[in-house]
């Protein structure tokens, strides 16, 4: 009845992957010559920026839908609402609240559509979410590069390109900057700790943990493990999956909002592009797989992955006198982690099955 | 006692083919009602209807009336049935492998913290794991099992899974009707009797129980009433004390008139293929340590209840599933199960799942018929420097396919027609034609008449006899249709739990077959 | 069961009709574009000449998808693997200063060898991830690109024309073929009829490749590949070695992709290295889907038709968008069509599979 040998416990991906990342980032940090406090400050910033986006991935993984690359859709939802609010010159706290309201509304809607789509492509969710991400991106561009100034009237001329059509590449978020970032900011030596924001991320982490331990969470787990059996047990698989996608999309939208206001500048056409890939890689770096993910893996993964991400260009500079090599290395790590996770996971999944 | 379940004039058909015909059945509160029937008698359909399986609704619903606790019901999905107080123990277990024992037992009925209940509602209320574990332990103890509730289901053995499946239903306090589908199939004798004790105790508390089993002894021992289904009809009902195993067996099989299609023979030639301690790991249909001699030139029938291994033999020989043990073919040991090697040696297997494995649905009749022979034996190839790059020689395939179409009376517009467009019976004929084209000495056939209309069935059966007689092809014929086997075979082997249980002559009485299928040794002889 | 097979036929017929829908929309859109171009008094003859070149330029890459599709390995989202093999082959030829037809043939030969080796490894990996080849292929392709960026940067090639002029390390992102085999096929045997220029040599090369594929899928191995793609268990029961068959198909696909990028590059005039192959898979995939492939089986004709439709639209949108003063519109429309088609095909294909 004891299924796993003790050896297996220590040498599974849950431990190996984070260990490899730990070693890699430590080595890269040593080579880079960056000070520990600089790296730590940067990692804390990234933790706040990307925390929610990574957390948004957990529930779809548990529901058996794999890595949800379409969190970019949630990101675009909040960006849309942000641009709309800026276009109509609504500033300050009411502006922020309005951004949230419209963004959440949009992402619930889009999450529902995503859920419906993914219910039609069971077993192929991941490739579909990637394509959806690209597809929605082209619609997003169509709206803001072509639609703004032609079909949609804009009252804030500052964000429009000089030709009168389309939004500029970068939009300043000056009017919302540092509203919540600097709350409860502590300094320990050279290390700055924005306690409030960290607490926000941890609060959401706690929220995800909580949801996974409710009745709904149990249903999600059941659907992820054996979807066909669930129907017999009185669980509506399709509805659970739609709810999961809505939840994930809303979380991604909120995550992107935190990300943007932390940066203070908003690259209209590129800010969301890599969120899916980077967040997925970070989650996997923490030891999650495409079949199982835990909150602590997400939190750990953000730290490990972003440490490597921050130090590798400098490490490349020092090692080869070429910073570009460090850049290549980090995109290789991001894509490679996901590729490896897929190969290992799916391979293990296939092994016992003989037919099909 | 009042009737908890009242079924009247229930009819159900799938696309015009009737599965249940005018069934009337009632279960009283506090009664154990047995239900027996052979394969395809409509038991599964009946259960699907009672438990609200969506497949029923999707295929057009049913006619007739079902009243549960006095109210008329018509479920569209299982959760409606569950919320009414109907529970079901599924034969192939409705358990979630990645959840623990306790989580499975309490799924959908978790204890939650009262505080979060009020705060966030039932769905988003925090689960009280300790409470859950305690109550699932209690349910397991009732079954006499000590099991750590934190073990995941996928790490359990099959009989423990069965107990968890039952414990989930026992744990329900709102249960009013419990349907058990073959709950004892995987249990040992002792465990089965313990389960029956618990069923008695539950019925004592006023729960109605519908008990489906192939083990007639158990039915006899525990049921207050028993109903027999045959071909979708309710053919007999007996009260307690009037239940006799032999009578039940006879009712299940019926008195079909046997057309002696094949002449009687007694073949004791040399064995063409010999299995020694042969095992096939086909999930849900395992063969374990099978010993069997198949004589050259005979047709041997294989039959068993579903899940007892009759289908796995052919698949095992084609290397589709891992095998173990010894196989001697033509006095030569087959060391590695490789489909290509075995086809070249003269072994071929036709699958039972015709749609899934038997045909290339989108390709022409011609391609289907010559495919295996061409690939394995390079027949019908144009000569070419590299055999693997050779094209099909249509000057040779066309006459061959024409002959096959004529011989087997395959109804098609042309032999360029896609096989998808043919009827089930004609698709089966195409399969057999493909097998013959590869010219095997030993042919495994599985369920060749499943989903085939009556005239095509006769044609297929006579085809099998004819190729056996004229080409001296040895045939292993696996089927759950006993009367077909009786008409075609020289011997019939009955399998129970992956082993040969008994080899019977085709003219043995029905009762012997029914008893052998249920794994019951007959009155006098012991195997 | 008979009721099931009847239902399936109904569904198939319905979707056979539906799959024509995107083709219809694309054709109508193309006609509208042609009308607009005509109204804008553009030179139709030049456009037509260009469309023929574009057809072959991209068509070979599209054809490279066919073997894998037919073997049931799915849409080859890992196309960059083959493309990189071809790029490496051309770089070798340029490095050894091989020019003209000799240079192009040697480039093809090098590509053939490299792609066969790459395809072998790629095929082994894809056999491991059976059932999820598409998502795994996507990330194998994605991660192979930064990996090769290392190579491009560090490879000790000698030809000055390939290297960064000053202050850089490694190969240039764009290597001109001016002195090597620029337009070598385009300009081979061009037939002039008034304004029309028919690149007969180029088309003959394309036709030859098409004939090769047609012939190959009628040989014994080819038929085994098709049977494996259509029904794996059936093939297995007929004694076919599934892994080897799939491997063969992947190798052939990869080799043709290598040839494809050589043809593409000689038309384009520059070898494009680094991140350029990243998104090349998507237009090729969408082309074959527009051609009418269901994503389960593909014919040479579908590849040709789809490429012609898609590339003509690409070609026409440039001048039309420029006339409308929104040059970005071209790119947006391209990605909208590309990803929209792929998404649509994924949805339709998976729904069809449900019915089986």
CB-CB: which of C2, C227, C240 is closest to B17?
C2
B: neighbours with 3+ CB pairs under 8 Å? Answer: A, C
Q: Do A138 and C336 touch (CB under 8 A)?
A: yes
**Res B307: pLDDT:** 77
> What number is the average pLDDT over the span B341-364?
86
**Res B486: pLDDT:** 85
Report the DSSP beta bridge partners of residue B495. Answer: B304, B500
Query: Is the per-residue pLDDT at B162 higher than 70?
Result: yes
Q: What does the pLDDT look like over A300-328, one tens digit per residue?
A: 999 999 998 888 888 888 887 777 888 88
Q: How far is A197 from chain C (nearest CA, A)?
A: 33
Q: Do A233 and B154 touch (CB under 8 A)?
A: no
Best mutation target, B352, B362, B417, B418, to test chain C (most C CBs within 10 A): B362
CATH 3.40.50.300 in chain B: give the residue spans.
Answer: 1-85+175-255, 271-517
DSSP state of C173: S
- Given a contact cutoff of 8 angstroms between Cβ atoms, the answer to whether B20 and B42 are in contact is yes
- Given a contact cutoff of 8 angstroms between Cβ atoms, the answer to whether B241 and B511 are in contact is no
pLDDT > 70 fraction of chain C, expressed in percent and rounded: 92
A: neighbours with 3+ CB pairs under 8 Å? Answer: B, C
CB-CB: which of C153, C326, C340 is closest to A325?
C153
**Res B1: pLDDT:** 58
Q: What residue in C sits closest to B14 (Cα-Cα)? A: C3
Q: How far is A100 from chain C (nearest CA, A)?
A: 28
Which one has a higher pLDDT value, B185 or A327? A327
CATH topology for the C25-36+43-355 domain? ABC transporter involved in vitamin B12 uptake, BtuC (1.10.3470)
Least confident of A205-214, B208-217, B247-256, B335-344: B247-256
> What number is the average pLDDT over the span B399-418?
86
Least confident of B243-247, C72-76, C271-275, C283-287: B243-247
Q: How far is B212 from chain C (nearest CA, A)?
A: 24
Strands C270-272, C174-176: pairing is antiparallel
* Residue A76 banded pLDDT, cuts 50, 70, 90: very high
* Residue A71 banded pLDDT, cuts 50, 70, 90: very high
- Given a contact cutoff of 8 angstroms between Cβ atoms, the answer to whether B319 and B309 are in contact is no
Q: Do B123 and A354 touch (CB under 8 A)?
A: no
Query: Is the per-residue pLDDT at B183 higher than 60?
Result: yes
* Residue A189 banded pLDDT, cuts 50, 70, 90: confident
Q: How far is A21 from chain C (nearest CA, A)?
A: 17
Query: Is the per-residue pLDDT at A354 higher than 50?
Result: no
The two counts, helices (H) then strands (E), for chain A are 14, 4
Q: Does C135 touch chain A (CB under 8 A)?
A: yes
CB-CB: which of A3, A225, A236 is closest to B155?
A3
Query: Is the per-residue pLDDT at A251 higher than 90?
Result: yes
Question: Residues with Cβ < 8 Å from C96, sequence gap 6 or more?
Answer: C106
CB-CB: which of C128, C136, C339 is closest to A131?
C339
Q: What residue in B sits closest to C214 (Cα-Cα)? A: B391
Q: Do C221 and B388 touch (CB under 8 A)?
A: yes
Least confident of B241-245, C14-18, C31-35, C73-77: C14-18
Q: Does A119 touch chain C (CB under 8 A)?
A: no
Nearest residue to A244 (alpha-carbon basis) of A278, A226, A221, A273: A221
Nearest residue to C186 (alpha-carbon basis) of C176, C197, C195: C197
Query: Is the per-residue pLDDT at A7 higher than 80?
Result: no
Query: Is the per-residue pLDDT at B269 higher than 80?
Result: no
pLDDT > 90 fraction of chain C, expressed in percent and rounded: 42
Identify the three-state secondary structure at position B63.
strand
CB-CB: which of C131, C146, C346 is closest to A131?
C346
Q: How far is A15 from chain B (nearest CA, A)?
A: 20
- Domain chopping of chain A, boundaries: 53-285
Element (H, E) at B446: strand B442-446
Query: Does the interface ipTM go beyond 0.95?
Result: no
Q: How far is B395 from chain A (nearest CA, A)?
A: 35
Q: How far is B422 from chain C (nearest CA, A)?
A: 10
* Residue A178 banded pLDDT, cuts 50, 70, 90: low
Longest CA span, chain A? 71
Q: How far is C258 from chain B (nearest CA, A)?
A: 23
DSSP state of B256: P
Interface of C with B (CB under 8 A): 1-7, 9, 12, 218-221, 223-224, 226-227, 230-231, 233-234, 236-241, 297, 356
Q: Do C220 and B374 touch (CB under 8 A)?
A: yes
Q: Do C241 and B375 touch (CB under 8 A)?
A: no
Question: Residues with Cβ < 8 Å from A338, sequence gap 6 or more?
Answer: A67, A277, A280, A281, A284, C139, C142, C143
* Residue C122 banded pLDDT, cuts 50, 70, 90: very high
Q: Do B340 and C239 touch (CB under 8 A)?
A: yes
| B271-517 belongs to CATH 3.40.50.300 | yes
- Given a contact cutoff of 8 angstroms between Cβ atoms, the answer to whether C53 and C186 are in contact is yes
Q: Which residues of chain A neighbour B123 with C-beta distances below 8 Å?
A: 214-216
Nearest residue to A221 (alpha-carbon basis) of A342, A112, A346, A59: A59
CB pairs under 8 A between A and B: 87
Element (H, E) at B34: strand B32-37
Q: Which residues of chain C neighbour B355 with C-beta distances below 8 Å?
A: 4-5, 356
Here the tokens at position C62 are 């599209």
Identify the three-state secondary structure at position B148.
coil
**Chain A contacts in chain C segment 257-316 (CB below 8 A):** 282
Q: What does the pLDDT look like over B34-90, one tens digit per residue?
A: 998 876 678 888 888 888 888 888 888 888 888 888 888 888 888 888 888 899 998
Q: What does the pLDDT look like over B501-527, one tens digit per residue?
A: 888 888 888 788 888 887 776 544 433
Q: Do C5 and B378 touch (CB under 8 A)?
A: no
Q: What does the pLDDT look like over C2-25, one tens digit per residue?
A: 333 334 444 454 455 445 677 788
> What number is the average pLDDT over the span C243-258?
95
**Res C143: pLDDT:** 92
Q: What does the pLDDT look like over A99-111, one tens digit per residue?
A: 999 999 999 999 9
Q: What does the pLDDT look like over C131-176, one tens digit per residue?
A: 889 999 999 999 999 999 989 988 888 888 888 877 677 888 888 8
Q: Do B99 and A221 touch (CB under 8 A)?
A: yes
Q: What residue in C sits closest to A148 (Cα-Cα)? A: C326
CB-CB: which of B108, B126, B155 is closest to A233?
B108
d(CA C154, CA C273) in angstroms, rounded, equals: 13
Residue B332: φ, ψ to 5°: -130, 135
Q: Which residues of chain B neighbour C234 with C-beta distances below 8 Å?
A: 357-360
The CATH homologous superfamily for domain B1-85+175-255 is P-loop containing nucleotide triphosphate hydrolases (3.40.50.300)
Nearest residue to B125 (alpha-carbon basis) of A236, A199, A211, A125: A211
DSSP state of B418: B
Query: Is the per-residue pLDDT at B144 higher than 50?
Result: yes
**Res B259: pLDDT:** 56
> What number is the average pLDDT over the span B139-149?
85
Query: Is the per-residue pLDDT at A54 higher than 80?
Result: yes
Q: Which residues of chain A neighbour C133 with C-beta distances below 8 Å?
A: none
CB-CB: which of B54, B78, B97 is closest to A225?
B97
Q: How far is A307 from chain C (nearest CA, A)?
A: 19
Which one has a higher pLDDT value, A2 or C181? C181
Nearest residue to B449 (alpha-carbon basis) of B185, B261, B233, B290: B261
Best mutation target, B355, B425, B457, to test chain C (most C CBs within 10 A): B355
- Domain chopping of chain C, boundaries: 25-36+43-355
Q: Does A19 touch chain C (CB under 8 A)?
A: no
Interface of B with A (CB under 8 A): 51, 53-54, 77-79, 81-83, 88, 90, 94-99, 103, 107-108, 110, 112, 116, 120, 122-127, 151-152, 154-157, 320-322
Here the tokens at position C348 are 């339709």
Nearest residue to B420 (alpha-carbon basis) of C20, C236, C6: C6
């Amino acid at each position: 009845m004891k299924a796993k040998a003790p050896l297996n416990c220590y040498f599974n991906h849950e431990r190996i992957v984070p260990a490899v990342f730990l070693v890699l980032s430590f080595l890269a940090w040593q080579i880079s010559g960056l000070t520990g406090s600089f790296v730590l400050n940067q990692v804390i910033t990234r933790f706040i920026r990307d925390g929610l986006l990574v957390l948004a991935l957990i529930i779809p993984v548990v529901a058996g839908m794999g890595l949800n690359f379409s969190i970019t859709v949630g990101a675009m939802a909040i960006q849309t609402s942000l641009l709309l609010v800026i276009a109509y010159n609504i500033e300050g706290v009411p502006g922020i609240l309005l951004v949230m309201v419209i963004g959440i509304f949009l992402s619930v809607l889009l999450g529902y559509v995503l859920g419906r789509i993914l219910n039609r492509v069971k077993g192929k969710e991941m490739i579909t979410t990637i394509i959806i991400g690209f597809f929605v991106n082209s619609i997003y561009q169509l709206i803001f590069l072509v639609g703004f100034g032609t079909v949609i009237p804009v009252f804030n001329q500052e964000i429009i390109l000089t030709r009168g059509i389309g939004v500029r590449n970068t939009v300043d978020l000056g009017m919302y900057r540092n509203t919540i970032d600097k709350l409860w900011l502590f300094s320990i030596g050279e290390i700055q700790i924005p306690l409030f924001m960290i607490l926000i991320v941890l609060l959401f982490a706690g929220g995800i943990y909580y949801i996974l331990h409710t009745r709904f969470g149990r249903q999600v787990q059941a659907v992820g493990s054996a979807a066909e059996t669930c129907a017999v047990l009185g669980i509506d698989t399709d509805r659970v999956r739609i709810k999961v996608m809505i939840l994930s999309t809303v979380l991604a939208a909120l995550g992107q909002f935190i990300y943007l206001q932390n940066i203070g500048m908003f690259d209209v056409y590129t800010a969301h592009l890599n969120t899916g890939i980077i967040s997925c890689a970070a989650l996997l770096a923490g030891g999650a797989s495409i079949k199982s993910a835990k909150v602590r893996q997400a939190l750990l993964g953000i730290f490990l992955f972003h440490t490597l991400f921050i130090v590798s260009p400098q490490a490349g500079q020092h090692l080869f006198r070429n910073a570009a090599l460090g850049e290549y290395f980090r995109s290789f790590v991001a894509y490679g982690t996901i590729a490896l996770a897929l190969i290992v996971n799916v391979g293990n999944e296939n092994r016992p099955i003989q037919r099909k | 006692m009042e009737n908890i379940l009242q079924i009247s004039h229930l009819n159900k058909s799938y696309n015009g083919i009737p599965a249940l015909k005018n069934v009337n059945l009632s279960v009283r509160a506090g009664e154990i009602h047995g239900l027996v029937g052979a394969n395809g008698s409509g038991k599964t359909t009946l259960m699907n209807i009672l438990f609200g399986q969506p497949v029923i609704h999707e295929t057009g619903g049913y006619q007739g009336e079902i009243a549960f606790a006095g109210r008329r019901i018509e479920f569209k999905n299982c959760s409606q049935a569950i919320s009414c107080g109907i529970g079901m123990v599924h034969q192939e277990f409705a358990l979630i492998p990645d959840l623990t024992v306790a989580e499975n037992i309490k799924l959908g009925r978790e204890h939650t913290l009262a505080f979060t209940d009020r705060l966030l509602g039932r769905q988003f209320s925090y689960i009280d794991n300790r409470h859950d574990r305690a109550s699932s332990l209690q349910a397991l103890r009732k079954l006499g099992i000590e099991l750590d509730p934190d073990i995941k289901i996928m790490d359990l053995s099959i009989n423990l899974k069965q107990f968890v499946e039952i414990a989930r239903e026992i744990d329900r306090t709102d249960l009013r009707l419990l349907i058990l589908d073959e709950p004892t199939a995987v249990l040992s004798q002792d465990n089965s009797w313990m389960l029956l004790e618990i069923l008695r105790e539950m019925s004592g508390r006023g729960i109605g129980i519908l008990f489906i089993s192939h083990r007639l002894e158990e039915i006899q021992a525990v049921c207050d009433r028993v109903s027999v289904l045959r071909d979708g009809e309710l053919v007999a009902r007996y009260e307690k004390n009037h239940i006799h195993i032999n009578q039940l067996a006879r009712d299940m099989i019926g008195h079909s008139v046997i057309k002696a299609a094949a002449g009687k023979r007694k073949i004791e030639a040399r064995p063409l293929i010999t299995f020694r301690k042969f095992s096939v790991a086909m999930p849900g249909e395992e063969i374990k340590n099978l010993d069997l001699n198949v004589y050259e030139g005979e047709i041997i029938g294989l039959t068993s209840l579903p899940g007892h291994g009759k289908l796995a033999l052919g698949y095992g020989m084609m290397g589709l599933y891992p095998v173990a043990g010894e196989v001697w073919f033509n006095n030569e040991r087959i060391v590695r199960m490789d489909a290509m090697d075995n086809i070249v040696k003269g072994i071929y297997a036709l699958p039972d799942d015709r749609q899934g494995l038997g045909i290339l649905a989108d390709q022409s009749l011609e391609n289907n018929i010559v495919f295996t022979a061409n690939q394995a034996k390079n027949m019908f190839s144009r000569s070419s420097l590299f055999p693997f790059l050779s094209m099909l020689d249509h000057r040779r395939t066309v006459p061959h396919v024409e002959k096959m179409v004529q011989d087997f009376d395959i109804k098609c517009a042309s032999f360029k027609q896609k096989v998808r467009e043919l009827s089930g019976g004609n698709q089966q004929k195409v399969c057999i034609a493909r097998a013959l084209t590869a010219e095997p000495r030993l042919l495994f056939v599985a369920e060749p008449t499943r989903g085939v209309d009556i005239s095509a069935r006769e044609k297929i059966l006579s085809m099998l006899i004819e190729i056996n007689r004229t080409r001296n092809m040895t045939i292993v014929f696996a089927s759950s249709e006993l009367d077909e086997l009786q008409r075609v075979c020289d011997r019939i082997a009955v399998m129970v739990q992956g082993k040969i249980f008994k080899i019977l002559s085709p003219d043995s009485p029905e009762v012997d077959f029914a008893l052998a299928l249920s794994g019951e040794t007959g009155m006098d002889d012991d195997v | 069961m008979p009721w099931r097979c009847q239902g399936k036929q109904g569904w198939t017929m319905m979707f056979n009709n539906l799959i024509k829908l995107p083709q219809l929309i694309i054709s109508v859109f193309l006609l509208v574009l042609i009308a607009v171009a005509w109204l804008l008094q553009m030179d139709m003859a030049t456009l037509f000449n260009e469309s023929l070149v574009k057809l072959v330029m991209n068509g070979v890459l599209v054809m490279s998808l066919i073997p894998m599709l037919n073997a049931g390995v799915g849409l080859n989202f890992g196309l960059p693997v083959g493309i990189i093999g071809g790029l490496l082959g051309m770089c070798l030829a340029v490095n050894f200063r091989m020019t003209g037809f000799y240079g192009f043939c040697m480039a093809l030969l090098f590509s053939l060898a490299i792609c066969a080796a790459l395809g072998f490894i790629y095929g082994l990996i894809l056999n491991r991830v059976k059932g999820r080849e598409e998502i795994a292929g996507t990330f194998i392709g994605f991660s192979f690109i930064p990996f090769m960026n290392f190579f491009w940067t560090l490879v000790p090639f000698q030809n000055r024309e390939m290297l960064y002029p000053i202050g850089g390390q490694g190969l240039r992102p764009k290597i001109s073929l001016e002195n090597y085999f620029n337009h070598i096929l385009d300009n081979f045997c061009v037939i002039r009829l008034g304004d029309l220029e028919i690149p007969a040599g180029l088309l003959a090369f394309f036709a030859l490749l098409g004939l090769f594929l047609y012939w190959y899928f009628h040989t014994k191995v080819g038929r085994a590949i098709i049977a494996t793609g259509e029904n794996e268990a059936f093939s297995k029961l007929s004694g076919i070695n599934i892994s080897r068959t799939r491997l063969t198909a992947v190798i052939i696909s990869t080799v043709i992709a290598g040839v494809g990028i050589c043809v593409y590059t000689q038309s384009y005039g520059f070898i494009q290295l680094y991140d350029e192959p990243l998104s090349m898979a998507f237009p090729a995939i969408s082309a074959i889907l527009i051609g009418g492939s269901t994503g389960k089986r593909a014919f040479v004709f579908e590849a040709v038709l789809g490429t012609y439709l898609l590339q003509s639209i690409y070609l026409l949108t440039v001048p039309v968008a420029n006339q409308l003063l929104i040059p970005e519109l071209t790119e947006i429309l391209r990605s909208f069509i590309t990803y929209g088609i792929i998404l649509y095909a994924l949805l339709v294909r998976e729904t069809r599979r449900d019915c089986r």
